[in-house]
Structure 1
Amino acid sequence: MRDASPYVLWFDEYTEDDRPRVGGKNASLGSMITAGLPVPPGFAVTTDAYESLRSHPDLVAHVRGLLDPLDVSDSRLLQKVAAEIREAIVALPIHADIEEAIRTAYAQLSAHCGSPAGPEQGIGVAVRSSATAEDLPDASFAGQQDTYLWITGADSVVEHVRRCWASIFTDRAIAYREQFGYDYRQISMSVGVQKMVDPRAAGVAFTLNPSTGDRSQVAIDASWGLGESVVSGEVTPDNFLVDKVLREVVERTISDKAIEYRRVDGVVTVCEVEDERRTVQCLTDEEICAVAAMARRAEKHYGRPQDVEWAIDRDLPDGDNVILLQARPETVWSKAPRASVSHGAYDPLTSIVSTLVSPMHRKNQ
């Protein structure tokens, strides 16, 4: 039996009415889980918890005194002010009822996943920022706040929730809000706490060809280990094009994948890939088609092209090991005007099935 709290919302209990309380990223996770997509379990620390910061008048006055006169074009001063605000938030004690709600939910998540949860026990989780401004139609706040991977133990989860709150005041986020006229006092923060996947391989998939906008194809980028090496551009990934109608791999490029991110002694570490794996295709053809099928399910769920992050969980059996980590709507080709088709050039296949290149930001400390 889960404890009811205004400060915690489980992803599998999400409804669209909850979106303002959990931010865009957590809303997406909740929506996909309730739709039956293979997303790891977890919960959101709601914006009600973040709003408790606004009840600290000394903090509010301190932030206002630093930000109101700030010239964001002075990069050195901007970095100094941003760091000072984050330090003040991290140093602020969390209200006892909020901390208890986070600890209780983490213990319940750990128990659900088969692990005890004491102060230094429990499952490894991702602690992800989910600001309420991330999905505004005229701005892109994605990647401006922090995400922490492989956080273990209730004490550490509470600490990293606080760090996510503080990351709403990174120098980049402050400057962006100033540039586009968004008031920091109108933006709130939810934090997602989600079971980590231990990937054998991971990457991204686009439910159209990001080079051409062709909606008859799914494009997959894949590499060994965590997907960070792909989204950060540190490795040239294997690339596969899958035909949506034929459900076959129609084009493949196998790359030399020199590094991978993987967990070593509890820490996410950059490791060299062994010579025998560097130029080997990191997915089987069955896994490629399974990733494509899952991406298409996300596209159908949202009713528009998607850019999804996925992983092959080394701890799950074949057939159940393709996991959906995140999905975002396409923002490049969907804004491009559709070319009219003359009668002589009509292509029925493209017409039937005719991107989202917004990389995930991951900061691990």
Structure 2
Amino acid sequence: MQFTYELSECSQDKGPEIGGKALGLGMLWGLDFEVPPGFVITTAAYRATVGPDLIDEFNRIAAGAQTVEELQLASKQIAERFSADLISPELRAEILDRYARIADGNSSVAVRSSATAEDRADASFAGQQETYLWVRGGDDVLDHVARCWASLYTAQAISYRRRLDDEPGGLAMAVVVQQMVPAEAGGVMMTIDPATGNSSAVYVEAALGLAEGVVRGDVVSDSFWVDRSTNDVRSEIRVKDAAHVFDTKSGRPAVRPVTDEAGRQPAISDDEARELAAIGMRVEAAQGVAQDIEWAIAADGDGRRRLYLLQARPETVWSQPGNDPEGAVHLDSGPLDPEEKNLLHGSAGRDGLWTITNMQEAIPGVSTPFTSSVWLPAAEFANRNHYRFIGALSKEEAKIPADPKGWVVGLFYGRAALRLDFYASWADRVPGLSGEAIIGQFFSSLPDTLTSRTRQRNRLRAVPRLPLPFLVVPRRMRRNRTEVGKFWSAAVSELATADRARAVDILVEGVDRFQRSLALQVNLTQGAFQSLSRVIRWLCEETSVNPHELVAGYGGHEESALVDDLWACSRQELTLEQFVRRHGYHGWREGELSNHSWREDPTMIERQLDAYRQRPDDEDPRVMHSERADKRRELERRLLSELAPTHRVPGRIGLALAAHYLPMRGVSKVSFLQSLDVVRAAARRLGTLLEQDGRLNNAEDVFYLTLDELRDCPDKSKALVAERKKLRRRYEQVQLPDAWQGMPEPLDATAAAALSSFEGTPASPGVVEGRARVVLNPSDAHVEDGEILIARDTDPAWAPLIFLSSALVADIGGVMSHTAVVARELGIPCVVNTKAASLRVKTGDLIRVNGATGLVEVLDS
């Protein structure tokens, strides 16, 4: 039996033997592109080497692993069984003979997995198995072939196959051995815009050095868009400070700094970008589907730059059924119609003052229909309930209006917004409070047309109820936290095997608990917190103490505990399983229910652990918390000493109350996040059951149905899902202002990017200069020491990343928002409400952040 093939022999009929990567390389070879020479070791070689008994044993070990810790242990047990000694003398001779044909004694090769499930059209397994670069010598090649086989059973690969319901029965691994290219530049090309699904341009991302830099995302890269029809090139050239290169001393690839001059030059020329785009379109035409292609440019013997293709796979996001890139709608295809009415736009009152600030922290981005159907009624109830609770609204006024035009929350182009004029009018009824004050404090947006109108009669009704947020809410909140914590642990476990009726019951209970938990959060933050914040600001007005510094260091914040536990995990004081059991309800943009929580996918935590392990022990956040507490106590002493004698007693009372109540902020937030995670889990279980029944194409499509529809799935669910996906993609390309009157006008992103300095709301004092790291998704983000984090919005899942940063700048948020609170607690400068920092600043820009004035300056673009 033949166990190896040259890449030129890899054709469609050999697909099951050679795996996705080898098949892609054979296709490129057949189209006469420049492909580095190589060969593939077939799946038959894997099966002959490992044998059915070992394969059955591996599958049994993997099947018994359920938790993160068990998956890691199973992976380790399986990997220990793989070694080059397993390879028979006959197979060893065949591999070494092929290797000798493509490499002399000084040549290096890449040894790459080519799994049978890899690089298929409906799911990309890229990154789930291993790749080894700059392997040299026959014995080293054999050793790395065995390592590639073992990577079929990494914890991530087992978990990923399980999420896709892939049966392990036919699992096998082919391995590609291919000559290395000493790249001067490398990267990835996609024949469709990966962010928007726009197929009118080919997207190219290029880094200096090896393409590994783009694949890993740990060095700065340039972006190019090549228009298919005109061949015009649009580019974003960034300052590059490092590259993946072959290190001659270690004999391995490494990240090394580049010179300032080289770092300022484009990684590739416009003509090279056009050449890549032409190749991409040709490959796409041959394969009939959008392509994801890895490439490299290296100098030939005459010093000329030559383009090599390293692999090709089908694009797996926008090419999914219902995600047809030709159906993606773009702003340049025509103006938005503000009068249109659908699930994500058009139902809210159009005569009000609206803001997305703060709301976008909770309900980020363009909501899926399921998310908005859960969130909006709960948010409407929570806000009305609070002002009824403190006596500002009557029982009748607190009822949710039947017509959404009368709601205080609404959707505009898929973004959740809050109606400022309604909110301000309610706040005006509270003694000692004004609409202007509360809007300015919580939302950092105060339109010129908003004025306060005190209503004395309502204020008198509210007086006896003002102490309730202090006296009643904490007790209710703690009891609810305990109950919801037990509910979360039990429900997510039960849902793994629940039938439809039980899943619906858990879903309904989860929504109910979420609404109650959110209401308690609003009672606390806009009752006790708002009052205490006003007292602290009033006390600080006559002293030199900064109120933002004073409120940091009280301890007890959930996000601080999260960072502490991640640090403990990095020092092996806590297992990853224990960390996930405590904090697994968090996740990127966790308010959007279609996103995965850490309980479902701990990838972000695993990546952040690597960064935490590299930090020196003296950066222990637990020590830093103690130091900030000492600083806060010193500020309190200074405040009291500078106060007028008549103000010292209320000063002591105010500080004592702040120390007691401010750390409670995260308690009720945990409850509503855990409730939301149950809702997420119940929806996913129902999606799986609906897919099995043939009523949905994919289980994830469940998030394009509303809560009511999910209880009784409509007959035309598939058509509804496809239409709503297109609508959501369309709205995702709209940038909205932070506040507006009536109907918002989309922002001009180009104009925003042209500014070299801008201001936001100062949220945590301090001045820092450093390179910017723009992060839109923390799940795969990497922050270097000293970098300044730039984000559209943040939620509790960002806390581990914020800890690694020297400063934080956010597009949205107020001084009492989550972003500001975490930054203050972690002791880093912070500016919020910049409106478009993530558009104005690029990764690699040298910027200065002043957290006391709110000024952000781009010093070197």
Please indicate the TM-score interval, normalised by the length of the shorter structure. Answer: 0.7 to 0.9
Counterpart secondary structure, 2:311: strand
Q: Cα deviations across residues 135-179 of structure 1 (Å, max 9, x unaligned)?
A: 455543222110100111111111111110111111111222333
Contact 1:43–1:193 at 8 Å: present in 2 too? yes
Q: Within 5 Å, which residues of 2 pair with 1:69-84? A: 70-73=64-67, 75-84=68-77
Cα distance between partner residues in 2 of 1:242 and 1:179: 35
Counterpart secondary structure, 2:82: helix
Match of 1:217 in 2: 201
Cα distance between partner residues in 2 of 1:286 and 1:298: 19
Cα distance between partner residues in 1 of 2:328 and 2:145: 49
Q: Within 5 Å, which residues of 2 pair with 1:37-52? A: 37-52=33-48
Q: Within 5 Å, which residues of 2 pair with 1:122-141? A: 122-136=106-120, 138-141=122-125
Return the offset for 1:314: 2.5
**In the alignment, residue 8 of structure 1 is paired with which amino acid?**
T
Match of 1:360 in 2: none
Q: Within 5 Å, which residues of 2 pair with 1:176-325? A: 176-249=160-233, 251-265=234-248, 266-315=251-300, 317=302, 321-325=306-310
The Cα RMSD (Å) is: 2.3
Cα separation, partners in 2 of 1:62 and 1:300, compared to 1, 3 Å: closer
Contact 1:294–1:324 at 8 Å: present in 2 too? no
Q: TM-score, normalised by structure 1?
A: 0.82
Cα separation, partners in 2 of 1:124 and 1:221, compared to 1, 3 Å: same
Matched, 1:6 2:21: no
Counterpart secondary structure, 1:72: coil
Cα separation, partners in 2 of 1:216 and 1:67, compared to 1, 3 Å: closer
Match of 1:150 in 2: 134
Match of 2:94 in 1: 101
Contact 2:10–2:22 at 8 Å: present in 1 too? no
Which stretch of structure 1 is more off in the superposition, 174-183 or 126-135?
Answer: 174-183
**In the alignment, residue 95 of structure 2 is paired with which amino acid?**
I
Bigger share in strand: 1
Cα separation, partners in 2 of 1:340 and 1:43, compared to 1, 3 Å: closer
Q: TM-score, normalised by structure 2?
A: 0.36
Cα distance between partner residues in 1 of 2:263 and 2:59: 51
Cα distance between partner residues in 1 of 2:303 and 2:51: 50
Cα distance between partner residues in 1 of 2:279 and 2:120: 26
Match of 2:704 in 1: none
Cα distance between partner residues in 1 of 2:25 and 2:178: 10
**In the alignment, residue 238 of structure 2 is paired with which amino acid?**
S
Contact 1:72–1:178 at 8 Å: present in 2 too? no
Return the offset for 1:16: 1.5
**In the alignment, residue 180 of structure 1 is paired with which amino acid?**
L
Contact 2:119–2:313 at 8 Å: present in 1 too? no
Cα distance between partner residues in 2 of 1:277 and 1:122: 28
Counterpart secondary structure, 1:186: coil
Q: Cα deviations across residues 181-218 of structure 1 (Å, max 9, x unaligned)?
A: 33323211100011111110111112123333332211
Q: Cα deviations across residues 88-143 of structure 1 (Å, max 9, x unaligned)?
A: 12264211111111001101122xxxx3xxxxx25211100011111455543222
Matched, 1:22 2:18: yes
Contact 2:222–2:267 at 8 Å: present in 1 too? yes
Cα distance between partner residues in 1 of 2:140 and 2:133: 11
Contact 1:106–1:154 at 8 Å: present in 2 too? yes
Cα separation, partners in 2 of 1:64 and 1:253, compared to 1, 3 Å: closer
Higher relative contact order (CA 8 A, sep 6+): 1
Cα distance between partner residues in 2 of 1:94 and 1:246: 53
Counterpart secondary structure, 2:49: helix
Cα distance between partner residues in 1 of 2:124 and 2:270: 35
**In the alignment, residue 180 of structure 2 is paired with which amino acid?**
M
Cα separation, partners in 2 of 1:6 and 1:207, compared to 1, 3 Å: same
Which stretch of structure 1 is more off in the superposition, 34-43 or 291-300?
Answer: 291-300
Give the structure with higher Rg (CA).
2
Cα separation, partners in 2 of 1:122 and 1:277, compared to 1, 3 Å: closer
Q: Cα deviations across residues 308-362 of structure 1 (Å, max 9, x unaligned)?
A: 1111112355776011111121222223155499xxx79xxxxxxxxxxxxxxxx
Matched, 1:67 2:86: no
Q: Within 5 Å, which residues of 2 pair with 1:82-97? A: 82-90=75-83, 92-97=85-90
Match of 1:329 in 2: 314
Cα separation, partners in 2 of 1:162 and 1:299, compared to 1, 3 Å: same
Cα separation, partners in 2 of 1:299 and 1:56, compared to 1, 3 Å: closer
Cα distance between partner residues in 2 of 1:25 and 1:108: 20
Counterpart secondary structure, 2:152: helix
Contact 2:110–2:179 at 8 Å: present in 1 too? yes
**In the alignment, residue 279 of structure 1 is paired with which amino acid?**
R
**In the alignment, residue 206 of structure 1 is paired with which amino acid?**
M
Cα distance between partner residues in 1 of 2:286 and 2:309: 13
Contact 2:223–2:235 at 8 Å: present in 1 too? yes
Structure 1 unpaired stretches of 5+:
116-120, 347-365
Cα distance between partner residues in 1 of 2:282 and 2:110: 24
Percent of matched pairs sharing the same residue: 39
Match of 2:548 in 1: none
Match of 2:155 in 1: 171
Contact 2:121–2:315 at 8 Å: present in 1 too? no
Q: Cα deviations across residues 274-317 of structure 1 (Å, max 9, x unaligned)?
A: 11111211212222222222222222221222121111112355
Q: Cα deviations across residues 247-295 of structure 1 (Å, max 9, x unaligned)?
A: 232x111101111000011210110111111121121222222222222
Match of 2:754 in 1: none
**In the alignment, residue 105 of structure 1 is paired with which amino acid?**
R
Which stretch of structure 1 is more off in the superposition, 282-291 or 40-49?
Answer: 282-291
Contact 2:110–2:178 at 8 Å: present in 1 too? yes
Counterpart secondary structure, 2:32: coil
Counterpart secondary structure, 1:88: coil
**In the alignment, residue 295 of structure 1 is paired with which amino acid?**
G
**In the alignment, residue 96 of structure 2 is paired with which amino acid?**
R
